[in-house]
């Protein structure tokens, strides 16, 4: 089976995470960090989720799972400690046309999450055929090179692109090949990209 990777706009996601344990907590907080509206449904809630709710990052629903909690969700994550409940969530979510991730049996869902590295506007996601430990190792190796310098570089390019496009004409079309050419990575790493960006301001 081949994966089809996409990047969802966090601020436009309404996510329901069913399960308040370690896995549900990790998934809920990652979604909240991406700007999603997150509802966590579980009869028992851990301290990290309690803290996130106090800071209004997530909403807590202290109940056992019922299919009605999926209404209005963009995506659903089943992360309970019950195989039967997770399987039922898969059935209900598919019936309602939701994106659904089943953490203990990914093949029951229609998506899985990837190992992420973020640096400002740069997001790198790694999938490794259902072996999450390998994905995490690969992500960490990538993160060593693609550090904060890349986040800063992409942020500067985004601002410049917006300015040049708003100004009309073909200036961004002229600038892009010179700024994002074959030497892009080396210019980020040796610090010369900022000089190139400044020359187009």
Q: What is the mean pLDDT of residues 171-176?
A: 93
- List of residues 6+ apart from 148 with CB closer than 8 A: 119, 120
Mean pLDDT of the chain: 94
Task: Give the position of tokens 């081949």.
Answer: 2
Residue 103: pLDDT band by 50, 70, 90 thresholds? very high
Tell me phi and psi for residue 150, to 5 degrees: -75, -40
Beta strands in 24-159 (DSSP E): 37-41, 58-61, 75-78, 99-102, 115-119, 122-126
Check residue 3 and give its pLDDT. 81
Residue 190: pLDDT band by 50, 70, 90 thresholds? very high
Q: What is the mean pLDDT of residues 89-100?
A: 98
Query: With 80 as the cut, is the pLDDT of residue 2 above it?
Result: no
15 token code pair: 């996510």
CA dist 146 and 47 (Å) reads 33
60 token code pair: 């807590």
Residue 201: pLDDT band by 50, 70, 90 thresholds? confident
CA dist 168 and 164 (Å) reads 7
Query: With 90 as the cut, is the pLDDT of residue 12 above it?
Result: yes
Check residue 1 and give its pLDDT. 54
Coil, helix or strand at residue 14: strand
Q: What is the mean pLDDT of residues 157-181?
A: 91
- The H-assigned helical ranges of 105-192 are 132-145, 148-166, 171-179, 184-190
Per-residue model confidence as pLDDT tens digits over 21-60: 999 999 999 999 999 999 999 999 999 999 999 999 999 9
159 token code pair: 């601002």
Query: With 60 as the cut, is the pLDDT of residue 69 above it?
Result: yes
Query: With 60 as the cut, is the pLDDT of residue 9 above it?
Result: yes
Domains of the chain, first to last: 10-113 (3.40.50.720), 148-199 (no CATH)
């Amino acid at each position: 089976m081949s994966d089809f990777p996409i990047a969802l706009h966090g601020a436009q996601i309404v996510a329901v995470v069913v399960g308040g344990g370690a896995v549900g907590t990790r998934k809920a907080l990652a979604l909240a960090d991406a700007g999603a509206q997150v509802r966590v449904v579980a009869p028992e809630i851990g301290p990290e989720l309690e803290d996130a709710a106090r800071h209004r990052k997530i909403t807590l629903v202290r109940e056992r799972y019922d299919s009605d909690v999926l209404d209005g969700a963009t995506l659903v994550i089943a992360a309970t400690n019950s195989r039967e409940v997770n399987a039922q969530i898969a059935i209900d979510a598919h019936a309602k046309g939701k994106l659904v991730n089943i953490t203990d049996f990914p093949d029951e869902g229609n998506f899985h999450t990837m190992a992420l590295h973020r640096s400002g506007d740069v997001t790198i996601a790694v999938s490794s055929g259902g072996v999450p430990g390998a994905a995490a190792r690969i992500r960490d190796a990538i993160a060593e090179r693609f550090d904060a310098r890349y986040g800063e570089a992409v942020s500067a390019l985004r601002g410049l692109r917006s300015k040049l496009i708003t100004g009309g004409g073909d200036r961004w079309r002229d600038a892009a090949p010179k700024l994002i050419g074959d030497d892009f990575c080396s210019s980020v790493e040796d610090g010369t990209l900022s000089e190139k960006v400044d020359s187009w301001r």
